Structure 1
Amino acid sequence: MYHRPRIIPTLLLEDGMLVKTKKFKAPRYLGDIMNAVKIFNNKGVDELCILDISATRNGKAPDTELLHDIATEAFMPLSYGGGICKIEQAKKLFRCGFEKVIFNTALLKNPKLVKEAVCYAGSQSVVASIDVKSEFFGKPVCYIEDGRERITLHPVALARHAEKLGVGEILLTSISNEGSMNGYDIKLVKSVTDAVNIPVIANGGAGHVEDLREVLEEGHADAAAAGSMFVFYGRNRAVLINMPKEEELIGAGVYDMQ
């Protein structure tokens, strides 16, 4: 037997198409998201996180038609974030087949909505997304509105605020590391995991299986999410939907033998 933390591919949608960003900028078109979902199905991933990076920015509601198609195709638990501004939209996502909804901007601008979602579906089905950029002298600064609006709360304070709203876990993304494939911001992750009593999913920067192990062990993360690592291959970042084999994860210490 061995301990098996969750490893979660994070897929980004822009206007219905699969893209990948770097530091939340310059989205690169990757293809049809349905193809990616089918491949991850075959690879037996633990969970799939889908974030629509254009919904909030453009004031659009979640594309429930596309999301219904994804949920119908997917054989793994699904979470979704982007453009959810009404409880009815969240309810529709649950009815589509999504196990979790993710809130970022609403944590501060519409906390009532977050609480309503918790009351409707339970804490385990509501995730707080916290996006953090490392600025002058490494100071961590939180952003909302898809990384466009700077706020004054420290990541630890925002995480504790989200916990008080009743969310069941936190998706913590380093904007500065996102898409870099140079490793997670371990200091940031540890500061948040040590401050709250709910699971933290680390996101932003994974490039190798060793990065996953490091953030789980040294960052105390409960799960590791990644984007580029699962959609690019090689030095030239060729598009290839992939997932490390279980033997690789065991060999790198991501899955610890018990």
Structure 2
Amino acid sequence: MEPSLTDQFLNTGVAKRIIPCLDVKDGRTVKGVNFVDLRDAGDPVELAWQYSKQDADELVFLDITATHEKRKTTIDMVKAVARNVNIPFTIGGGIHEIGDADILLNSGADKISINSAAVRNPGLIDELADAFGIQFVVVAIDTKYVDGKNYVHLNGGRIKTDILTEEWIKEAESRGAGEILLTSMDHDGTKNGFDCKLLRTVNQSLSIPIIASGGAGNQQHFVDVFLETQVDAALAASVFHYGEIRIPDLKGTLRAHGIEVR
């Protein structure tokens, strides 16, 4: 008899992580639907402090226009977050070279995330992994389903590439990515659930952690993504920012379904 999904999950013995994501534009947290129609969601430092008090496992800050506008991520914000929270956080946006990452890590970030810059210069992954260690390097990927296939998109989802998502994930891992943050643009902001089909397929071929992103709308969606895909972490934004889901309540629900959380 085949073991159930729950039995398979429990046998992994790995605690899953809940990660609020703060998309930052001009120093404010914003959130949209399918990467557009952004609206204000509050001060990123204040939100970070609140999430640390709510027992979030980690935080991710993404300057969603840094690459598009050719700006560097705000160092002052990174320093302020480091002073106010006691949980690990990742910073992404505008990182094009080792010097950019070095400044962010020295300012208090625990990990850095690269997206468009890595696609344009895959060797950057190798350089960052060699310089800082793979545990500091998160490769973020924005993917969209087009004509029957999943393609990598750049610059906050504005530019479609001809690169297949699954192939790019494998290359990123081989080059030294320590973690993959995979965002489904089709699901992002819709609150209809994570892209479990894609996540399950991708995770089966990965040996590094994967963070599921895009589509969380209720607590059941988190249960589903962990049980159906075995991903290591689930990330969400608006449901946390606007108080629709409280992290302590979510962790209680996950434990009730036999899912180990931190």
> Does residue 44 of structure 2 align to residue 33 of structure 1?
yes
> Does residue 20 of structure 2 align to residue 16 of structure 1?
no
> Does residue 44 of structure 2 align to residue 44 of structure 1?
no
Amino acid paired to 1:131: D
| CA–CA separation in structure 2 for the residues paired with 1:247 and 1:206 | 17
5+ unaligned residues in a row in structure 1: which ranges? 235-240
Q: Which residue matches 2:179?
A: 169
Q: Which residue matches 1:106?
A: 117
> Does residue 220 of structure 2 align to residue 194 of structure 1?
no
More off after superposition, 108-117 vs 98-107: 108-117
| CA–CA separation in structure 2 for the residues paired with 1:131 and 1:71 | 26
Q: Is the 8 A contact 2:114 2:139 kept in 1?
A: yes
Q: Which residue matches 2:7?
A: none
- TM-superposition CA deviations, 1:18-61 (whole Å, max 9, x none): 11121111111112112101111211210001101011110001
Please list, as runs of the form range in 1=range in 2, the aligned pairs for 1:141-152 lying within 5 A after superposition. 141-152=151-162
Alpha-carbon RMSD:
1.8
More off after superposition, 3-12 vs 16-25: 3-12
Q: Is the 8 A contact 1:155 1:192 kept in 2?
A: no
Shift of 1:232: 2.4
Other structure's SS at 1:206 match: coil
> Does residue 10 of structure 2 align to residue 6 of structure 1?
no
Q: What's the % identity of the aligned pairs? A: 35
Q: 1:249 aligns with which of 246, 250, 254?
A: 254
5+ unaligned residues in a row in structure 2: which ranges? 1-9
Shift of 1:139: 2.8
TM-score by length of 2: 0.89
Please list, as runs of the form range in 1=range in 2, the aligned pairs for 1:151-166 lying within 5 A after superposition. 151-166=161-176
Other structure's SS at 1:56 match: coil
| CA–CA separation in structure 1 for the residues paired with 2:208 and 2:197 | 18
Q: Which residue matches 2:3?
A: none
Q: Is the 8 A contact 2:141 2:180 kept in 1?
A: yes
Q: Which residue matches 1:127?
A: 138
Shift of 1:153: 1.7
Q: Aligned in 2, Cα 1:253/1:206: closer, same or farther, shift over 3 Å? A: farther
The number of residue pairs the alignment matches comes to 249
Q: Which residue matches 1:238?
A: none
More off after superposition, 246-255 vs 214-223: 246-255
- TM-superposition CA deviations, 1:234-255 (whole Å, max 9, x none): 5xxxxxx842433233124443
Q: Aligned in 2, Cα 1:233/1:252: closer, same or farther, shift over 3 Å? A: farther
- TM-superposition CA deviations, 1:186-244 (whole Å, max 9, x none): 1111121112221111100111222112111211211111112211245xxxxxx8424
Amino acid paired to 1:248: T
Q: Is the 8 A contact 1:210 1:254 kept in 2?
A: no
Other structure's SS at 1:30 match: strand
Q: 2:226 aligns with which of 207, 210, 216?
A: 216
Q: Aligned in 2, Cα 1:42/1:221: closer, same or farther, shift over 3 Å? A: same
Other structure's SS at 1:151 match: strand
Q: Is the 8 A contact 1:46 1:77 kept in 2?
A: yes
| CA–CA separation in structure 2 for the residues paired with 1:183 and 1:88 | 37
| CA–CA separation in structure 2 for the residues paired with 1:75 and 1:85 | 27
Other structure's SS at 2:144 match: strand
Q: Aligned in 2, Cα 1:3/1:191: closer, same or farther, shift over 3 Å? A: closer
Q: Is the 8 A contact 2:19 2:59 kept in 1?
A: yes
Q: Is the 8 A contact 1:209 1:244 kept in 2?
A: no
